[in-house]
Amino acid sequence: MKALILNCTLKKTPDRSHTEALVKSAVKEFKKLDVECELIRVVDFNILPGVDSDMGEGDDWPKIIKKIRECQIVVIGTPIWVGGESSMCQRIIERLDAMFYDKKLQDPNNGQYIFYNKVAGVVVTGNEDGAQAVHARLFMALNEFGATIPPNVGSYWVGEAGPGPSYIDGGQSSKYTQRITVLMVQNLVAMAKILEATPIQTNLSELNKLYLEE
Amino acid sequence: MKALILNCTLKKTPDRSHTEALVKSAVKEFKKLDVECELIRVVDFNILPGVDSDMGEGDDWPKIIKKIRECQIVVIGTPIWVGGESSMCQRIIERLDAMFYDKKLQDPNNGQYIFYNKVAGVVVTGNEDGAQAVHARLFMALNEFGATIPPNVGSYWVGEAGPGPSYIDGGQSSKYTQRITVLMVQNLVAMAKILEATPIQTNLSELNKLYLEE
Amino acid sequence: MKALILNCTLKKTPDRSHTEALVKSAVKEFKKLDVECELIRVVDFNILPGVDSDMGEGDDWPKIIKKIRECQIVVIGTPIWVGGESSMCQRIIERLDAMFYDKKLQDPNNGQYIFYNKVAGVVVTGNEDGAQAVHARLFMALNEFGATIPPNVGSYWVGEAGPGPSYIDGGQSSKYTQRITVLMVQNLVAMAKILEATPIQTNLSELNKLYLEE
Amino acid sequence: MKALILNCTLKKTPDRSHTEALVKSAVKEFKKLDVECELIRVVDFNILPGVDSDMGEGDDWPKIIKKIRECQIVVIGTPIWVGGESSMCQRIIERLDAMFYDKKLQDPNNGQYIFYNKVAGVVVTGNEDGAQAVHARLFMALNEFGATIPPNVGSYWVGEAGPGPSYIDGGQSSKYTQRITVLMVQNLVAMAKILEATPIQTNLSELNKLYLEE
């Protein structure tokens, strides 16, 4: 079983990323449950603006699509800037939008989008506010993309109102954040195993024939 | 297998509810799949403001909690007013908040919240805009409450920008809305069956001992 | 000059309201600037569900509409429940929606909605997260209703991630919250005086003739 | 009087941008009112990821900051992708965040952020849903940045639920969108003139001394 963790920090490796510190604590839990993890920073790749599955020369997005195909669990990690997910996070949402019309991102047998029978969770860090709004936005997008959202898979840390320390300096001792992170990982793995044993069989191609192609 | 559909319209029975028209088309699909359905309008009940599981004399909320306990699938239907879910919808979210501290709303064996191993979907109608924002907000809340969100379970209809006809008068012929409603029902039922056969076993009581009770 | 503060807490007077504690610190600042204040809890009134300006027998909403007419500054205070504004807050948004079709809520001379040339601010309290999302939602609604939003008029306090003390017990010493509350009041009063001296003269009736009534 | 329109489309010049078509109809109205307009596509510039006011070599952001300084009216135009503003739009929000700690983006006399005494509006296009959520998010950010939001300055067009034509092909005949766009421009210009004659004088430096520097 494999988990892909997409850290949408604005900071390239090896700069200090608060979100990376929190997703790394998730990685530790995944490993306890024998799940292989790949952790990447999206900003280290050249993800061109656009909404096609391949924007041409220099576009690294196809590399990430390949990684998504090969895992059963996807975790999106993002910092909060002025109450919203990062521009790198919105960039990957935009690029994933291609699955609604690009047949290469749909299962040839049943039309399911590439996140079908994968599970997804969201990890958010910020210094003051906005985590649940980001959870909401990403759960909606992931649901449209075909992912299953198991219970309690929104991990986060934010500090008190106003400017203040970020996660590494202010949040690592938070028992709440530790607990929700462990719970997220346990539920992601439990659900991924369930879906591996008994996948959702819905046939979207048939529905499309009935409703979209007349 | 049983589905509970909570219509959060502002209009009491038997007034015309656009949201009811759309949830009824979901009910029709559930029945094709042999799922028993109970459809209620929350506004027909006296749900007192507050965040406890029982707000005392005259409070009808315990009746709805009982209905939630007895089903495997919950669908929240809501109109959009000025871009957000209805006040009746927010009212039930507030009342469900009690599950985080009221042990009666947690499983005595493992501490799971009452939505664990239930699946949930969201149906939204409006005349101009806001459906995905309402999906987002409700998926986040339902995820916190312990529900599993299967793929593509946000059904909706909204018209073009600005004032215009609502669902009954403008949306019933929408192939998109018909398709997403059928897909929602199929995925809810598929996942409910999967969870019935192989429930998520996460033990929240143990996690609470480790992280919250030291 | 008069300010109306609508506290959308779920708790009736005289129960302890965290949001009331924070709006009261705004009231203190308004008084320093010689602004008369009326502070009410919406939940103390019987605001019927619906979207008309008067929902009939027993409906207290017309009393609140009268108060809105008579002030130059409106502050909406609301607690956060599961990441969103309270059901009482959404209830008043729904009732205000009537202004888009009920001529009684529009200026007979120029069609301006009743919030035109009034200014509005938002005060939010919660124990963990969600203030900026509520600011966003309410600024959007208030903008549609015709209010002017001066700079920096979103006051709030939330605590660190996860359960914890609410404003009265955890936030009253927050310098950030004190500063943004004072700044909110100063900017509301400054802008209200500016609009009193030089009101916006836009003629919506003429626009409606050009675009909506052909 | 000068207006800067930041089109946050993902498409570089001269590719067809639906958002550009709608902001151009706003430009036409601005010109009727003798307001000089500069319309740029953010994606034509190299805006580096980060939250500083200058991210170093190759960063075009300082050029845009200069343009913001020189205008009285800012309009942000953005497409909707999966219910949210574009990554280019979030990118500029992130870069503007620098104003909270970089003194160069604050008035040396009174500490006001660079949007103080400027007015702002938002133009959104999408094919199905999400405009009001984007308005909300951007009004909140702009309010934090110090902009004044006049009444009814959220222009938009979205089509009916589900896939369908975008603005150029489906929305240009919308009377609603034409009306709200004209109203937006009239209110932006009216308020910009009011603030030019009687600017908000709030002294943030003094507040900072009282609340942040003890």
Average pLDDT, consecutive stretches of 10 residues, N- to C-terminus, chain A (214 residues): 98 98 98 98 98 97 98 98 98 97 95 98 97 98 98 98 95 97 98 98 95 75
- How far is B10 from chain C, CA to nearest CA, in Å? 6
- How far is B113 from chain D, CA to nearest CA, in Å? 30
Q: How far apart are CA B201 and CA B204, in angstroms?
A: 9
| Residue C16 binned pLDDT confidence (cut-offs 50, 70, 90) | very high
C139/D136 CB distance under 8 A: yes
Helix H or strand E encompassing D205? helix D204-211
Residue in chain C nearest B94 by alpha carbon: C81
Q: How far apart are CA C208 and CA B122, in angstroms?
A: 35
B49/C10 CB distance under 8 A: yes
A133/C83 CB distance under 8 A: yes
In this predicted structure, the answer to whether residue C50 has a pLDDT above a threshold of 60 is yes
Nearest to B159 among D82, D160, D177 (CB): D160
Residues from chain B that touch D129, judged by Cβ atoms under 8 A, are 129-132, 156, 158
**Optimal mutation site among B143, B198, B210, interface A, most CBs of chain A within 10 A:** B143
In this predicted structure, the answer to whether residue C4 has a pLDDT above a threshold of 70 is yes
DSSP A42: G
- Return the structure tokens found at D192: 């910009």
Quote the mean pLDDT of chain C: 97
Chain B residues with at least one Cβ partner in D under 8 Å: 82-83, 128-133, 136, 156-163, 171, 174-177, 180
Residues from chain B that touch A149, judged by Cβ atoms under 8 A, are 139, 143, 148-149
Nearest to B129 among D158, D162, D174 (CB): D158
D163/B176 CB distance under 8 A: yes
**A/C interface, count of CB pairs below 8 Å:** 73
**A/D interface, count of CB pairs below 8 Å:** 75
**C/D interface, count of CB pairs below 8 Å:** 125
ipTM value > 0.90: yes
**Angstrom distances, CA of residue A69 to CA of A4, A143, C96, D122:** 10, 16, 48, 37
- Label residues C15-45 b or e (16+ Cβ within 10 Å = b): eebbbbbbbebbbebbeeeebebebebbbeb
In this predicted structure, the answer to whether residue C182 has a pLDDT above a threshold of 70 is yes
D133/B132 CB distance under 8 A: yes
A145, with CB counted inside 10 A (0-12, 13-18, 19+), is: buried
pLDDT digits (tens, 9 = 90+) for B7-17: 999 999 999 99
- On whether the pTM is more than 0.95, the answer is yes
A198/B200 CB distance under 8 A: no
pLDDT digits (tens, 9 = 90+) for D84-94: 999 999 999 99
CB A40 within 8 A of CB A33: no
Q: How far apart are CA D74 and CA D93, in angstroms?
A: 13
Nearest to A133 among C130, C157, C161 (CB): C130
CB C129 within 8 A of CB A158: yes
Residue in chain B nearest D176 by alpha carbon: B162
- How far is D26 from chain A, CA to nearest CA, in Å? 25
Q: How many CB atoms lie within 10 A of CB D104?
A: 11
pLDDT of residue C214: 54
Residues of chain D with pLDDT under 70: 214
Q: How far apart are CA B30 and CA B23, in angstroms?
A: 10
Chain D residues with at least one Cβ partner in A under 8 Å: 10-11, 43, 49-51, 81-88, 90-91, 93-94, 96-97, 100-101, 137, 140-141, 144, 163
- How far is D32 from chain A, CA to nearest CA, in Å? 34
pLDDT of residue C213: 72
- 3-state class of C171 per DSSP? coil
pLDDT of residue C212: 81
Summarize chain C as % helix, strand, coil (round to 5): 45, 20, 40
Q: How far apart are CA A138 and CA D177, in angstroms?
A: 29
In this predicted structure, the answer to whether residue C194 has a pLDDT above a threshold of 90 is yes
Residue in chain D nearest B159 by alpha carbon: D160
pLDDT of residue A213: 72
pLDDT of residue B212: 81
Residue in chain B nearest D156 by alpha carbon: B161
CB A173 within 8 A of CB A142: no
Quote the mean pLDDT of chain B: 97
Mean pLDDT to the nearest integer, C169-186: 97
